[in-house]
Amino acid sequence: MRTTQKFRIPNIEQYKQKLLFWGQQFNEVVWLDSNDYRNQYSSYNAVLAVDAFTCIQTDYYNAFDKLKEYQSITKDWLFGYLTYDLKNAVERLESKNFDGLEFPDLFFFQPKKLFLIKDDEVEVHYLGAVDDEMEEDLKDIEALDVASETHISSPNNVKVKLRMHKDEYFEKVNAVLEHIHRGDIYEANFCQEFYAEDTEIHPLETYLKLDAISKPPFATFLRLNDKYLMSASPERYIKKEGLKITSQPIKGTAKRSQNPKEDLLLKEQLSKDEKERSENIMIVDLVRNDLAHTATKGSVVVEELCEVYTYPQVHQMVSTVTSQIEASTNPVDVIATTFPMGSMTGAPKISAMQIIEALEDTKRGLYSGAVGYFSPQGDFDFNVVIRSILYNAEKRYVSYSVGGAITAKSNPLNEYEECLVKAKAMREVLEN
At residue 390, the pLDDT reads: 98
Q: Please tell me the pTM assigned to this model.
A: 0.95
SS (H, E, C) 57-124: EECCCCHHHHHHHHHHHHCCCEEEEECHHHHHHHCCCCCCCECCCCCCCEEEEEEEEEEEEECCEEEE
Above 60 in pLDDT, residue 153? Answer: no
Per the CB < 8 A criterion, the answer to whether 402 and 116 are in contact is no
Q: Each residue of 117-128: pLDDT tens digit? A: 999 999 999 999
Extents of the domains making up the chain: 2-146+153-431
Residue 238 C-beta-side C-alpha neighbours within 13 Å: 30
**DSSP SS3 for 250:** strand
At residue 147, the pLDDT reads: 74
Smallest Cα–Cα separation from 237: which of 83, 16, 100?
Answer: 83
Above 80 in pLDDT, residue 387? Answer: yes
At residue 155, the pLDDT reads: 65
Residue 142 backbone phi and psi in degrees, to 5: -65, -35
Smallest Cα–Cα separation from 106: which of 51, 55, 49, 58?
Answer: 58
Give me the catalytic one of 235, 360, 415, 418: 235
Give me the catalytic one of 66, 113, 227, 251: 251
At residue 152, the pLDDT reads: 52
Range with the poorest average pLDDT among 72-86, 147-161, 246-260, 290-304: 147-161
Average pLDDT over residues 396-422: 94
Average pLDDT over residues 106-131: 97
CA distance to 33, 151, 158, 221, 427, per residue, from 202 (Å): 19, 12, 12, 12, 15
Smallest Cα–Cα separation from 17: which of 246, 188, 207, 213?
Answer: 207
Above 60 in pLDDT, residue 393? Answer: yes
At residue 37, the pLDDT reads: 86
CATH code for the structural domain at 2-146+153-431: 3.60.120.10
Residue type, 390: L
297 among known catalytic residues = no
At residue 38, the pLDDT reads: 80
Average pLDDT over residues 35-55: 92
Above 70 in pLDDT, residue 149? Answer: no
251 among known catalytic residues = yes
Report the alpha-carbon distance of residue 155 to residue 334 in Å, rounded: 42
Q: What percent of the chain has pLDDT over 90?
A: 91
Report the alpha-carbon distance of residue 16 to residue 208 in Å, rounded: 12
Per the CB < 8 A criterion, the answer to whether 133 and 106 are in contact is no
CA distance to 50, 106, 173, 229, 426, per residue, from 224 (Å): 10, 11, 34, 9, 21
Per the CB < 8 A criterion, the answer to whether 219 and 33 are in contact is yes
If one compares 99 and 149, the residue with the highest pLDDT of the two is 99
Average pLDDT over residues 408-427: 93
At residue 400, the pLDDT reads: 98
**Residue 313 pLDDT level (bands cut at 50, 70, 90):** confident
Above 60 in pLDDT, residue 150? Answer: no
Above 80 in pLDDT, residue 154? Answer: no
Report the alpha-carbon distance of residue 152 to residue 149 in Å, rounded: 9
Q: Each residue of 317-358: pLDDT tens digit? A: 999 999 999 999 999 999 999 999 999 999 999 999 999 999
Q: Average model confidence (pLDDT) for the chain?
A: 95
At residue 146, the pLDDT reads: 81
